[in-house]
Amino acid sequence: MVPCEQLVKLPFFQGLSEQTITRLAEAASYQDFERNAPIVQQNNRASAVFFLMSGAVQFLTHVEGVDHLLVGVSREQGALIGWGAFREPYRYTASVRCEQNCRLIRIPAPVFDKLISEEPGVGIELLHRVASAVATRLEEVRARLVAAVKHQESFATQSLQEESRTSATRESTPRTVESMTSFLEASVFFEEFDTEHLTTLARFATTQSFEAQEMLFAQGERAGEFMLLVNGAIGLSYGEAPDDRIVVRAITEAGEPLGWSALVEPKRYRATALAVRASEVLAIDGERLDRYCYQEPKFGVSLMRRVLRVIGNRLRATRIRLVARRYEKESLAVRALIDASAASLHVTSPLFKIPYLLENRLTIADAFHSLELLKVHGEPLERNLAGLALEILEDVSKELELYQSLQRIYETVANSPANIPPEEVRRQCLAEFRRLFSETSYVIRGEENLPDQPGNIVIMNHLENHMDNLLPNDFRLTLDTHFVSSMILLKKYGEPPIRVIRKPMPAWFAFQQYFDRLGYIYVYSGHVDEEDQDRHITREDRIRFFLEAARQHLQEGRNLVICPEGNVYYTEDSPHLFKPGAFRLAAYVRPEPLIVPIAVANFDKKITRTTTAAVVHPPFRLSDYVPDPVEDSALFEFLNTYTEKYRGYVREAVELAAEKNSTSL
């Protein structure tokens, strides 16, 4: 037993009747836990409810394959733990362990069940307090989500707008008491409620219309109305200031609730609701609904359990989104989402295959197709889970779009008709890449340093490609060189540049078709393919052939793009020592061409989740640094010095990208 005076010190119990306090205190007990000790385990039956007296606890979400991930911490005295005991399926929704030594009060869940059943008026009050505690926890997790992803706000808003344009057609608006009652009966939120109660609610309900971009309510405002969506699409955003808000949820299904804060203390809206397109809602005055709950306490208990279910689902979804964003483990987060509802899903539900489809980039599109179908045609739980999964997979959707764009570009080039000249193929290719890069975050500096006329040797550091961009045939389109070619050189000169690349090895013979159609210039790194073998052609001959082909392009006013490292590296290690080939070419051509250095950063990362950067530095002629004719010793001394200088260029590009990221925050 815990003394009654101890319970009444905790916010949860303040204001309850002496009889209720006594009943709960008699069943309560103290429990002490050491640091790192588990208190409850996610998905276990919620057999007890705990209240934190001292210490600190961590809330963790289990994700298969990576164990438990931290989603929250509480040090507040009286913090409620184990709220899953108050709503179906009566399981703990997260694991809780002690961050430090803790003392808690434990009350068996059946004690609350019996009290709510025998005294529903008291039950309503208890459920109000539970809902308030869970809503506060939801705000805390949303704040963590904002901190993790607010730089992606514009992308979130854009995807929501796209979704709204493809949502279901507009339904008729309930106007009469009878039509409103029918609407309430058909909604998932009010299913299984007695028609008598719903008819009463319909009598003091109203319908409200909102134009696109019109605000329904703002975060922090007094919550006056509980609402259900009739038609349209409502975006819920969260953040302290308008510029910091991110979209945390889209309400698109008829009968889906919003404005539940009107029933939960302190009765302030905990998010901002904005009509993404023309929308209508059915609104019920919160105070009248609250009074009716106490007039009909059994109805009130059922209603508050539904409200608690909604808040709990939002909390779970936000936690999983936080896991997905912070740890970049979207597929695992979706698996956790589905696993948490596995007991309530039919064993034949297509949702169970989603985690497996997400494991391979070639079947990710199938996962999205299945989720979109389930969101529209699935059973209520499937529709809800599919919508949540699509929100979690927002970044994966962008990556899928990029991957499919890369596939289309490769097919367009490799299978272009033979009668189309390489220059036109290059132009089409770079036009597609311009569209691709325009949907990403990037920054370019120093374009004023580009020479007025083409016919230059453009050198750049060469970055590794992210493995997620690997095409089914094991080919990877180099993003950095295509970025420089499409977003800088094509833009400046109106003509597509030509890349200088190594001749593909025999294992890469299929890739040569891609390079051939683009009219790239080959250099040989040692191996000579069968088709190029000629006993009478020496290594020196091949070098001379390359020099002559490159010289002709330069003199005809075409830019050449060369990566002097001869290999790819990660941004943090770039560049490695430059090889002399590009510079020997500059010394060979007359009149001597300008060398234009462009440093790039972050193309080795997922470009949908980072900012890429390119910095154009002032052009120079090799003769400005190395005497003519060029001697090997002088050239290699220059390369050693210049490579080190170029590392500074790359660091500048890294800092430029970071600066844009911090500005967007």
pLDDT in tens, 242-266: 666 677 778 888 899 999 999 999 9
Residue 283: left (phi > 0), alpha (psi -120 to 50), or beta?
beta
Question: Is 70 exceeded by the pLDDT of residue 529?
Answer: no
Torsions phi, psi for 336 (to 5 deg): -65, -40
Tokens of 651: 């660091």
Tokens of 622: 């090799």
Mean per-residue pLDDT of the chain: 87
What is the per-residue pLDDT for 151?
Answer: 43
pLDDT tens for each residue of 561-608: 999 998 899 999 999 999 999 999 999 999 999 999 999 999 999 998
392, 367 Cβ separation under 8 angstroms = no
What is the per-residue pLDDT for 328?
Answer: 64
616, 449 Cβ separation under 8 angstroms = yes
Residue 505: left (phi > 0), alpha (psi -120 to 50), or beta?
beta
Torsions phi, psi for 648 (to 5 deg): -65, -35
Task: Spell out the long-range contacts of 33-37 with Cβ–Cβ below 8 A and sequence spacing 24 or more.
Answer: 33/98, 33/101, 33/102, 33/103, 33/104, 34/98, 34/101, 35/98, 35/99, 35/100, 35/101, 36/97, 36/98, 37/97, 37/98, 37/102
Write down the residue that tokens 């200031």 correspond to: 241
The sheet carrying 279-285 orders its strands as: 205-210, 279-285, 225-231, 257-258
Give the rounded percent of residues in the chain with a pLDDT score beyond 90.
63
Burial string for 15-49 (b: 16+ CB within 10 Å, else e) reads ebeeebbebbbebbeeeebeeeeebbbbbeebebb
Question: Is 80 exceeded by the pLDDT of residue 495?
Answer: yes
Query: 225-229, 270-274, 469-473, 575-579: lowest mean pLDDT where?
Result: 469-473
What angle, 0 to 180 degrees and rounded to 10, lies between the N-to-C axes of helices 18-27 and 109-118? 150
What is the per-residue pLDDT for 291?
Answer: 94
Q: What single letter denotes the amino acid at residue 654?
A: V
Interval 627-643 mean pLDDT: 91
Q: Which has the higher per-residue pLDDT, 415 or 536?
A: 415
HEC per residue, 627-645: CCCCCHHHHHHHHHHHHHH
Angle at 500 between CA 495 and CA 504, to 5 degrees: 130
Homologous superfamily of domain range 149-320: Jelly Rolls (2.60.120.10)
pLDDT tens for each residue of 120-167: 999 999 999 999 999 999 988 888 777 766 544 433 333 444 443 333
Name the band, by pLDDT with cuts 50, 70 and 90, for residue 648: very high
pLDDT tens for each residue of 354-370: 999 988 888 999 999 99
Give the rounded percent of residues in the chain with a pLDDT score beyond 70.
90
The Cα–Cα gap between 415 and 409 comes to: 10
Q: Where are the domains of the chain?
A: 4-118, 149-320, 329-392, 399-664
What is the per-residue pLDDT for 566?
Answer: 87
What is the per-residue pLDDT for 272?
Answer: 92
Tokens of 241: 């200031």
Interval 221-241 mean pLDDT: 89
Residue 55: left (phi > 0), alpha (psi -120 to 50), or beta?
left
Tokens of 555: 């003199």
The Cα–Cα gap between 551 and 557 comes to: 10
- CATH architecture assignment, domain 399-664: 3-Layer(aba) Sandwich (3.40)
What is the per-residue pLDDT for 313?
Answer: 86
What is the per-residue pLDDT for 607?
Answer: 92
Tokens of 450: 């580009």
The Cα–Cα gap between 220 and 222 comes to: 7
3-state secondary structure of 332: helix
Q: Which has the higher per-residue pLDDT, 362 or 222?
A: 222
Residues 6 or more apart from 414 whose CB is under 8 A from it?
A: 513, 514, 517
Name the burial class of residue 578, with classes exposed (0-12), middle (13-18) and buried (19+) by CB atoms within 10 angstroms of its CB.
Answer: buried
CA distances to 239, 321, 363, 396 from 393, in Å: 21, 9, 14, 5
What is the per-residue pLDDT for 65?
Answer: 59
Q: Which has the higher per-residue pLDDT, 628 or 511?
A: 628
Question: Is 70 exceeded by the pLDDT of residue 505?
Answer: no
The Cα–Cα gap between 84 and 45 comes to: 9
For residue 57, the cross-strand partners are 74, 98
Domains 4-118 and 149-320 share a fold: yes
Angle at 518 between CA 517 and CA 523, to 5 degrees: 105
What is the per-residue pLDDT for 665?
Answer: 45
Interval 506-516 mean pLDDT: 70
Query: 184-193, 503-512, 551-560: lowest mean pLDDT where?
Result: 503-512
Tokens of 104: 């808690």
pLDDT tens for each residue of 59-107: 988 766 556 778 888 999 999 999 999 998 898 988 999 999 999 999 9
Residues 6 or more apart from 133 whose CB is under 8 A from it?
A: 12, 79, 80, 83
94, 61 Cβ separation under 8 angstroms = yes
Looking at domain 4-118, its CATH class is mainly beta
